[in-house]
Structure 1
Amino acid sequence: MVRILILCTGNSARSQMAEALLRRDGAGRVEVVSAGSRPAAAVHPLAIAALAEVDIAWEGRVPRGMDGLEHERWDVVITVCDNAREACPYFPGQPLLVHWGMPDPAEATGSAAERLQVFRVAREVLQRRISALLALPIERLDPAALGEQLTAIGRMP
């Protein structure tokens, strides 16, 4: 099983949605955890709402810090924001470090409906990237080839 860690700053929106989607779609192939360099107090309610629209129940989740995770062995570490990329600690075993940067939907302004739409767009971008990741033979690709593929996936709109 491939172990994937998804990092962002607050672990309240992008990384939580990515973890939820990857858990659902990669069950049996990947073990996934998300965390934040400065975890927020709660998962953003619009992230929970956007996940509920695709039948993922994510209520009750709590943002997690990186404490202890830097001592675990990961095959892939994906950062979804620039701050987490900069704060990315050293991980044993030389995991692939990949950046899938994207705007933070939690910073959206406007009406509740407009802000929810921003979360939907973020969810769909993450879904496309995760689907592309899971279409790869991730268990069999050599690290260099996997790194190239995952970097290219991170550029997908």
Structure 2
Amino acid sequence: MSTDATYNVLFICTGNSARSILAEGILNELGKGKLRAFSAGSHPKGEVHPQALATLKRLHMPDTGYRSKSWDEFVAPQAPVFDFIFTVCDNAAGEVCPLWPGNPVSAHWGLPDPAAVTGTEEQQVKAFRDTAMMLRRRIELLLSLPLHRLDAMSLQSELRKIGQEQ
């Protein structure tokens, strides 16, 4: 990996409506010039959860331009080639994924689904905020890695450790 490369990252979740959208938004904001994020789902819901967009807005990050989409878009010939692929939900981690072009390093960064939280609006807002903060922490750790100096096995090990970060 070269020092001046922009690395492509794909965040996968089953529905591509909450966690993967948050991760895409946070990484695109924090990783400008170094990492470029995308998100997709194995069974996309077809719409982004409104609380995911509201959470990005509360974090002073762009909250427009997102859509719930299938991972099939990213195996097409014109799709970006990914350097990293992260599953952010346990269901997606257990699914048979497409064969991704290139040789992306992958890791599981599972988090509870904030969209599954029922209760008051305040409880739902807190669930999305907590998820966003955990993703932000993991993304900051990713950004601190010397990506261009680590071999694939070392990198995979580091990324898996980050996924266990609480």
With normalisation by structure 2, the TM-score equals 0.89
Aligned equivalents of 1:99, 1:142: Cα separation in 2: 19
Is 1:154 aligned with 2:163?
yes
When structure 1 is superposed on structure 2, of 106-115 and 85-94 the one drifting more is 85-94
- SS of the aligned residue for 1:68 comes to helix
User: Kindly, what percent of the aligned residue pairs are identical?
Assistant: 41
Q: 1:29 pairs with 27, 30, 34, which one?
A: 34
Aligned residue pairs total 157
- Return the letter of the residue paired with 2:118: T
Q: Is the 8 A contact 1:2 1:138 kept in 2?
A: no
What stretches of structure 1 move > 4 A for 4+ residues in a row?
Answer: none
- 1:61-101 superposed Cα distances (whole Å, 9 cap, x missing partner): 21111123125521111000122122322212221121001
Gaps of 5+ in 2: 1-5
Partner of 1:43: 48
With normalisation by structure 1, the TM-score equals 0.94
Gaps of 5+ in 1: none
- Return the letter of the residue paired with 2:87: T
When structure 1 is superposed on structure 2, of 47-56 and 126-135 the one drifting more is 47-56
What are the equivalent positions in structure 2 for 1:28-107 lying under 5 Å apart?
A: 28-71=33-76, 72=79, 73-87=81-95, 88-107=97-116
Aligned equivalents of 2:126, 2:142: Cα separation in 1: 24
Offset at residue 31 of structure 1 (A): 1.8
What are the equivalent positions in structure 2 for 1:134-149 lying under 5 Å apart?
A: 134-149=143-158
Root-mean-square deviation over aligned CA pairs: 1.3
